Amino acid sequence: MSGAKAAPKLAPGLAARLAAADLLDGVLRERRMLSDLLPRLERLEPGERARAQALALTVLRHLEPLDVLLDQFLGKRPPARAMHALRIAAAEMLVEGVAPHAAVDAAVNAVRANRKTQHLKGLVNAVARNVSREGAEIWAEMEPQRLPHWLRKPLVRAYGEEGVAAMEAAHAAGAALDLTLRTPVEGLPGVDLPTGSRRIDGGQVSALPGYAEGAWWVQDAAAALPARVLGAEAGEHVLDLCAAPGGKTMQLAAAGAEVTALDVSGARLKRVRENLARTGLTAEIVEADALTWQPDAPFDAVLLDAPCTATGTIRRHPDLPFVKTGEENKALTALQRDLLKRAAEWVRPGGRLVFCTCSLLPSEGEVPVARFLEGHPEWSLDPIDAEALGGEAHWSVEGALQLRPDYWAERGGMDGFYIARLRRAG
C-alpha cells in the first residue's frame, strides 16, 4: 500500500523567506496590517515564524530605498513574488549583513520554489549578484524612507522639515524592546532608562529572567509614562479606559490602586487577563462600550488611552504607512472627543484625568484637549514636568508631553505619544 507523498524538504531558511514574501504581499497588495496576517505563519516552527516577521519588518522599514536601488539593476520590475525575493535578499545583505552568497542563493531558491516564477531565477540571480557587488556603495548614499504624503504634510506643518526627517531616520533604525519592571530581576539584560524602563536588544521574551514570575512586562518607554503621569496611589479607585493589552492596568495595579480595566473588545481583554494572571496583579475587568457604560460611582482618576491612527508607533510597525490612508483620522478624532467627554463625567470633584494617544498628529492630541477645555470650565490643564519623570525639558509642550520617535535617538528612540493631565475643580 502506497502512502501519500511527503512534502518536498525546503532548503534551510527558505520557509521563513517564503512566509516573509507572503506577509509583504498581504501588507502591500491586500493593505492589511502585519498583525492581522500572523495566522498565516502558524504552520512554521517558532524560529521560522520569528525570522519571517523580522524579514518582513526590515523590508517594510526600508522599502522605498530598496526599490530605488533594485530599479537600477532592472529594466522593468518582475511580478510581485520575484520582486519580494529581491527585496528580501537586498535587505539581508545591506541592512542585516547576511553573507551575499547566502542571500543570493536564497532569493534564487525562493523564485524556483514557485512554478509561476521559476522562469525568473536567472533574472533574480543576476540582479541579486549585482546588489552584492555594487549595492553597498549605492546604499550608503540612500536617505531614510519618507513618510507618505497624507502623514508627512501635517507633520512637517507641526514639527518642521528637519524634525520630520529626524523621525524618518528613527523609523529606519527600528525599535529595541522595553520592559516595565515590577520588581528587580537578577540577570535581566539591558540598560535602565532615566524614565524607569529597562531597554534590551531583543530575544525570546518568554525565555528572559523574571518572565515566568511576572516580574515585568513588555511596554515601550513612552507608553509607560501616562500611568506615571497619572500618579495613582494605594487605595485610589482608578479607571483604565480602552485598557487592552493591559500594560497601564498593571502599572496602576502595581501602585496599589483599585483598578477597573474597561475595553470594548473581549478578545483584547483576554490578553489583559493573561497578563494580570502572570504578574499576580488584580483588576476588575469590564467588557463594554465606554460610550454607553455607566459606573456605579465616580473614580479618583481616569486614564484614557484613546484609539488613534497609531502614527507614533511606526518604528515598531513599519507596515502602518502602507495600510492606512489618513481617511481614518476624521472618525477617530470624533471618537476621541466623545470618549474624553464621557471619561470626564466619571471623575470625582478634585480628581484627575490623563488623556493620551500614541499619535504624532496634533489633531489627535492637543486639538481635542483644547476643545474639551474650552467647553468645560470646571476642568484645567495640570502641567507635566518632563524632567521630574526622568525626561527632558523640551518634551513638555504647553503643559502636556509630546514625545517623538527621534527623542533619545542615541538610546534607540521611543514611540510618539501625546499625554495631557487634566484636573477637575474640587
Strand, helix or coil at 79?
coil
Amino acid (1-letter code) at residue 65: P
With beta carbons less than 8 A apart as the criterion, state whether 271 and 245 touch. Answer: yes
Rounded Cα gap, residues 335 and 198, in angstroms: 33
Give the closest residue to 351 by CA, choosing from 258, 250, 421: 421
With beta carbons less than 8 A apart as the criterion, state whether 314 and 192 touch. Answer: no
Rounded Cα gap, residues 395 and 393, in angstroms: 5
Give the DSSP per-residue string, 283-339: -EEEES-TTT---SS-EEEEEEE-----GGGTTT-TTHHHH--STHHHHHHHHHHHH
How many distinct helices (H) and strands (E) make up the chain? 14, 13
With beta carbons less than 8 A apart as the criterion, state whether 421 and 384 touch. Answer: yes
Whats the size of the chain, residue-wise? 426
Give the closest residue to 374 by CA, choosing from 337, 328, 347, 411: 337
Contacts of 223 (CB under 8 A, 6+ apart): 247, 248, 358, 415, 417
**Per the residue annotation, which of 242, 308, 356, 358 is the catalytic one?**
358
First to last CA, the chain: 84
Is 356 in the active site?
no
What's the helix, strand, coil split of the chain in %, to 5? 50, 15, 40
Active site residues: 358
